[in-house]
Chain A
Amino acid sequence: MITSVKVILLALVLSLAAASVVLAAVACDLNDADRDVPRLFRESTSYKVVYVSIGERGGAPLLKRIENRLGSAYLQLYAPIDVPYTLYEIYRNKEKVGYIHGVNQKGQFGGIQIFMAQDLAGKVKSFYIQKISGKSAGKFREAAFVKKFVGISLKDFDSYDPVSGKGSGKIAEIPNPAPEMETDFYGVLRGLKKNLVLMNEFVFTSERGKP
C-alpha cells in the first residue's frame, strides 16, 4: 500500500514538479513530530511545520544582531546563514497556541539537541533534550530536571550568564543534575538561551511589530 502511494506520489511529482520550496538541510528537527508534539504540547490538536532562516528573515544584519545578543563564541549558531530552522507552530483546533523549536549546541562528547515548547507569550511550557552524549547524560533528560525550566523566558537570562555560569534568578537556582558533566550542563543552558533568542527574533519580535 505504502509503495503504491509512493509510486503515485512519484508520478505526481514528475508530472507536476511544482516549484514548491524544498529545503535540503534543516538545523534541528524532532525525530518523530507526530509523537513528540502532543507530548511537549499537551493541548495541541495539530501542528504546522514552518521553515525560517536568518538569511530570509533579515540576512547579515539579523545574524549580527543575534550574535550580539548571544554574546559569546560558546553560543555559536553552528549553522550557515541560509540553513532553515524548523519551527513547529502548535494549534488547538484552529487557534494557534504556541511553538516548538530546537537548536544544536556543542557538548563535551557530542551535539546536544535542545527543544522547547513556548506559549504565545514566549514562556517555556516544556523542555526536551532529544540528544546528549555522556556517561550520566540521562540525568539531563529526567523529568525532575526538565520541569525546572517550565515558566522560564528570555528575560530570565538578563540576570544570568550561561557562559560564565554567574548570575542570579530562576536559572541560577537550577542545580546541575550531573556535576561530572559540567560542560554539558552549561551547554544545555547556553542552548536554551540560544533557542530563546532565536525564537524572539524569528517570531516574537516580528509579531510585536504587526499592527
Chain B
Amino acid sequence: MITPFQIACKNLLRKKVRTCLTLVGIMLSTWVMVSLFGFNEGYEKALNRDIENMGYQLMVMAKGCPYEAATMMLQGGKGLRYMEQSMVNDIIKEPEVEKVTPILMQAYFDPNKGESGGIAGYFGVDPASYPAMKPFFRFRAGGWFHDPAAAEVVMGYEAAELEQREVGDLTLVPEKNVQLKVVGILERTGTQDDGTIFVPLKKLQQIAGTDKITTVGIKVKKDADMAKLETKLYQLKDVQVVSFSQVKQTILKLIATARVMVLSIAIVAILIAMVGVINTVLMSVLERVQEIGILKTMGAMPGDIFLLVWTETLIICSVGGIAGIGFALLFARVTDILVRRILPYAPGGGLVAINARMSLLTLGTIVAVGLLSGLYPAWRAGRVRPLESIRREG
C-alpha cells in the first residue's frame, strides 16, 4: 500500500524545477544560519584561546598610555611610557598574583622597509620568568637565550619566515645598528607571538639605553578575585591596568554589531524562503484541487489531506535544511578565511565552529518555521469540497 510519504514525494517530483528552487532557498537560509551560529561560537572560543595563550591575564603599564603597542606602531616608539622595574617586586607581593614577568617593548624605524620606511618592533623579555608564562611554546629550531643579557633573539614563526632567518643567522636592530644572533625559532602558535622578535630584557634595555620597562605581565592565581587585584593595582603610582577580560568584552561588543546585522539578514532570508515554501505548496494544492476532491470522495478525511500536504512541507524543509547544514560544514573553512579577511580583528584558530547541537537546533528551527508556513496551504487543501472541485473545469 502506498503511504502518505510516498504520495508526498511523488507530488513534489511532479514539478521538479519548482521544488528544486524552493529547496535551494531553504538550503541557503540554513547555510547562513548555521554559519552564523558557528561564527558566534567559534569567534568567542578563538578569542578566549588567544587570551589564554597570552600567558597572563593582566598587564600593568605606565599611566597615560593604555595602548602601548598601538602607540609604538604610530609613533615609532617615541611615545612609549616607561616604569621602574622595581614595580615587579610590588606586584608579586599581592596574594592573588601567581607569576609576573617584566617586559620592555621597543620599536625602531627602518627606512628600508617598504616605500617610506616601517617600524621594527622588539619584545624584551626576562629569560627567567617569561618562558614559564608560555609553557605551550615549542621551538622549531634552537631554544631560549643562553644568557640574560646575550646579544640573541628568538623569532616567532612568521617573523623568521619574513626575515628568512635560521638559527645561527644574524639580524640587525635598525637605527641602533646592533647585531643580534638568532638562537631560536618558534613553531607556529596562531597568535601574535608568530610575528614577534624576542630579545633578552637586559640586552634590549642596553640597546634602548634605559633600565626601565614598559609592561608587567601578571598571571593570576586560579580562583583569585581579579577585580579585587585590579583595584589594588590601581593604587600603585602612575600605572594603568589592562585586563584581558575587558579587552575581550570590548572586542565582542564590536563584533556584536556585525552579528546583529548578519542575524537580521539571516532572518530575512528565512522569511523569503518560507514565503517560497508557502507559494510552492499552495500552488501544488491549487493545481491538484480535483485530485484532492476525488481523494475525498473515496473516503479521505480533511485530516488525511492536511497531513498529506503537511508532509510535503516537511520533506522540502528537512531536505533543504540538511543540505544547508552540509554546505555550511563543507565550506566552513572557506567562510573562515573570507570572514578573517573582512574582520578588523580576527583571533587565531578556527573562527567558524559548527557542532551537532547547533546544526540540530537550526534544522529544528527551519522545519518548525516551515511547518508553520505549510499550515495555510494544508488547511486550504483540507477544506476542498469534493463535488465542487470535481465539477470544476480542469
What separation, in Å, do the CA atoms of A112 and B35 have in the docked complex? 41
| Residue B335 is within 8 A (CB to CB) of chain A in the complex | yes
Q: Is the CB of A105 within 8 A of B164?
A: yes
What separation, in Å, do the CA atoms of A36 and B116 have in the docked complex? 11
Interface pick from A9-17, A48-56, A86-94, A146-154: A9-17
Interface pick from A65-73, A135-143, A159-167, A195-203: A135-143
Partner of B265, one of A11, A108, A129, A135: A11
What separation, in Å, do the CA atoms of A10 and B262 have in the docked complex? 8
Partner of B171, one of A32, A39, A110, A130: A110
| Residue B372 is within 8 A (CB to CB) of chain A in the complex | no
Q: Is the CB of A134 within 8 A of B172?
A: yes
| Residue B170 is within 8 A (CB to CB) of chain A in the complex | yes
Q: Is the CB of B269 within 8 A of A15?
A: yes
What separation, in Å, do the CA atoms of A8 and B114 have in the docked complex? 32
Across-interface contacts of A129 in B (CB, < 8 A)? 112
Across-interface contacts of B337 in A (CB, < 8 A)? 22, 24
What separation, in Å, do the CA atoms of A133 and B261 have in the docked complex? 45
Q: In chain B between 291 and 338, which residues have their CB closer than 8 angstroms to a CB of chain A?
A: 327-328, 331, 334-335, 337-338
Contacts A13-B338, A110-B172 given; does A35 touch B177 at CB 8 Å: no
Q: Is the CB of A14 within 8 A of B343?
A: no
Partner of A15, one of B28, B115, B165, B170: B28
Contacts A10-B262, A14-B39, A110-B165 given; does A133 touch B112 at CB 8 Å: yes
Query: What does the 1/0 interface line of B172-201 toward A look like (CB < 8 Å)?
Result: 101001010000000000000000000000
Across-interface contacts of B265 in A (CB, < 8 A)? 11, 14-15
Q: Is the CB of A17 within 8 A of B164?
A: no
Contacts A19-B331, A106-B164 given; does A10 touch B343 at CB 8 Å: yes
Give the residue name and chain of the B residue nearest to A25 (CB): B161
| Residue B258 is within 8 A (CB to CB) of chain A in the complex | yes
| Residue B227 is within 8 A (CB to CB) of chain A in the complex | no
Across-interface contacts of A107 in B (CB, < 8 A)? 164
Across-interface contacts of A104 in B (CB, < 8 A)? 164
| Residue B123 is within 8 A (CB to CB) of chain A in the complex | no
Q: Is the CB of A22 within 8 A of B334?
A: yes
Across-interface contacts of B32 in A (CB, < 8 A)? 14-15
Nearest CB on A from B43, distance (A) = 11
Q: Is the CB of B262 within 8 A of A135?
A: no
Q: Is the CB of B342 within 8 A of A35?
A: no
| Residue A109 is within 8 A (CB to CB) of chain B in the complex | yes
Q: Which of A14, A24, A107 has the most CB of B within 10 A?
A: A14
Q: Is the CB of B261 within 8 A of A14?
A: no
Apart from A39-B115, A133-B163, what 4 extra A-B contacts exist at CB < 8 Å? A10-B343, A110-B165, A130-B114, A131-B112
List 25 A-B pairs, Cβ < 8 Å. A6-B258, A6-B343, A7-B261, A10-B261, A10-B342, A11-B261, A14-B32, A14-B35, A14-B36, A14-B265, A15-B31, A15-B269, A17-B31, A17-B327, A19-B334, A22-B334, A22-B338, A22-B341, A35-B115, A105-B164, A108-B170, A110-B171, A131-B114, A133-B110, A141-B112
